[in-house]
Homo-oligomer: A and B are copies of this chain.
Amino acid sequence: MMTQLENARSGRITPEARRIARDENISPENIRKRIAQGSIVLPKNRMRRLLKPCGVGKGLRTKVNANIGTSKNSSDIAYEIKKMRAAIEAGADAMMDLSTGAKVPKTRRAIIKKCPVPLGTVPIYETVINGFKRYGAIKEIRDDDFFVALEDQAKDGVDFFTIHAGVTLKAIEALRKHPRILDIVSRGGAFLAEWMIANHKENPFYNDFDRVIDIAKRYDITLSLGDGLRPGSIADATDKAQVTELKTLGELRKAAMNSGVQVMIEGPGHVPIDEVESNVILEKTICGGAPFYVLGPLVTDIAPGYDHITSAIGGAIAASAGADFLCYVTPAEHLRLPTIEDVKEGVIASRIAAHAADIAKGVNGAKERDIAMSVARGERDWKKQFSLAIDQTKPKLYRKASKPGSRDVCSMCGEYCSIKTSRRCFKKGK
């Protein structure tokens, strides 16, 4: 049984590749070539019946991922599934289940069963939760335990894994030598660092990366090489530890690709606006054009409650510079586990960023939708405007709540509508 990557390399166009070619209006042969090069990934576990596969990478629409999952103080599976539905309805292209609450495997299986889009996880969370239960401390976890979770989750049908294999002893040394404001803000990265420091041992995912590759290959799971050392403060961005990790990820990617396993690379994080583009270029250069999956970037640290906006700014810039996949950030970031409403707002903000970037990237159909919207605005065709909007609910509510004098204008300008005035003077229709 071949992986998507092996199929592409041997010249075969899989049904999923064909579907993506159709969805993106790109020739199947071009999709195949880019999968073969590794500039596009197609995350799909071979055990999964996946209703809406999607491609991530070069020339494709920028995709949006939404994280859901339980937490120690909130383990309601049904509520997480509601969040998933809200995210997908708002336009998320992929989901990640980051559960750390009660019954992690049960939660995951329930989510996978109902999830029509590619689903990712961070398997080390389960390892750590089980480790705490069994041994009482992270440092007691045995090397083997890290791989048990991978195997279990692979069997469940997870489509992509975040693996923090770049948090090496060398990278931790870089962190010690070049101190940060916030050392490690990735949960997976922090767990691994604690285990490694306490045991004076190398990262098991790095040390035994072949075992990661083996599992990924058997199930055709896409590896999302995690940035365990992503900056959590703009002052820490693009530092020695971050770049050391990125270089390691570039090497690990080669090894995975050589074995026929698809790879994407995860990126920051909190990054000042003038370093966002460089971060994308750095990743594309060091990691051979691999799809770049960014969390944010958040362009300032001081806007808790509005980090969907700080991330939309960074995400739009990153994606227009070449990032391929935006992990949403909700208004709840840094404050609490997101609610359904937070999830919806987060997805919409990321979709705005993705679409703004797609216009710059020249993605098929992106600019055309804006033009159609502007034509509808010119005609004051409200129904059409709503149908073309990224979110149709809120604009309808907004308009309904106001009382424009006549039906064709809005209450901002009323009869002094600039568009109406302008059409009158240029004698363009009504």
Interface residues of A (CB under 8 A from B): 71-74, 100, 125, 128, 138, 175-176, 181-187, 189-191, 193-194, 197-198, 232-236, 270, 272-274, 299-306, 308-310, 312-313, 316-317, 320, 331-338, 348-349, 352-353, 355-357, 359-360, 367, 369-371, 373-375, 377-378, 385, 388-391, 394-395, 398-399, 401-405, 410-416, 418-419, 421-426, 428
Contact = CB atoms under 8 A, between A and B. Distances in A.
Contacts of A390: 302-303, 306
A273 B399 contact: no
A305 B389 contact: yes
20 contacts: A72-B415, A73-B411, A182-B419, A182-B422, A183-B428, A184-B421, A185-B418, A185-B422, A235-B367, A235-B370, A270-B374, A273-B360, A274-B320, A299-B316, A300-B352, A300-B356, A303-B348, A309-B312, A313-B356, A336-B410
A324 B267 CA distance: 30
8 smallest A-B Cβ distances: which pairs?
A233-B374, A336-B402, A305-B394, A72-B414, A190-B421, A274-B360, A184-B422, A299-B356
A233 B304 contact: no
B336 A411 contact: yes
A185 to B, nearest CB: 5
A299 B316 CA distance: 9
A89 B201 CA distance: 53
B181 A272 contact: no
A398 B300 contact: no
Given A181-B371, A313-B316, A371-B233, A335 B302 contact: no
B301 A398 contact: no
Nearest to A397: B305
Contacts of A423: 183
A175 to B, nearest CB: 8
Nearest to A72: B414
B377 A337 contact: no
Contacts of A232: 374, 377, 418-419
Contacts of A355: 300, 302-303
A182 B374 contact: yes
B411 A235 contact: no
A336 B398 contact: yes
Contacts of A182: 374, 377-378, 419, 422
Given A184-B422, A302-B389, 15 more contacts: A72-B414, A72-B415, A74-B411, A190-B425, A194-B425, A301-B377, A302-B369, A304-B398, A312-B312, A313-B316, A313-B352, A333-B412, A334-B377, A335-B399, A336-B399
A181 B426 CA distance: 12
Contacts of A388: 302
Nearest to A353: B313
A391 B185 CA distance: 23
A412 B336 contact: yes
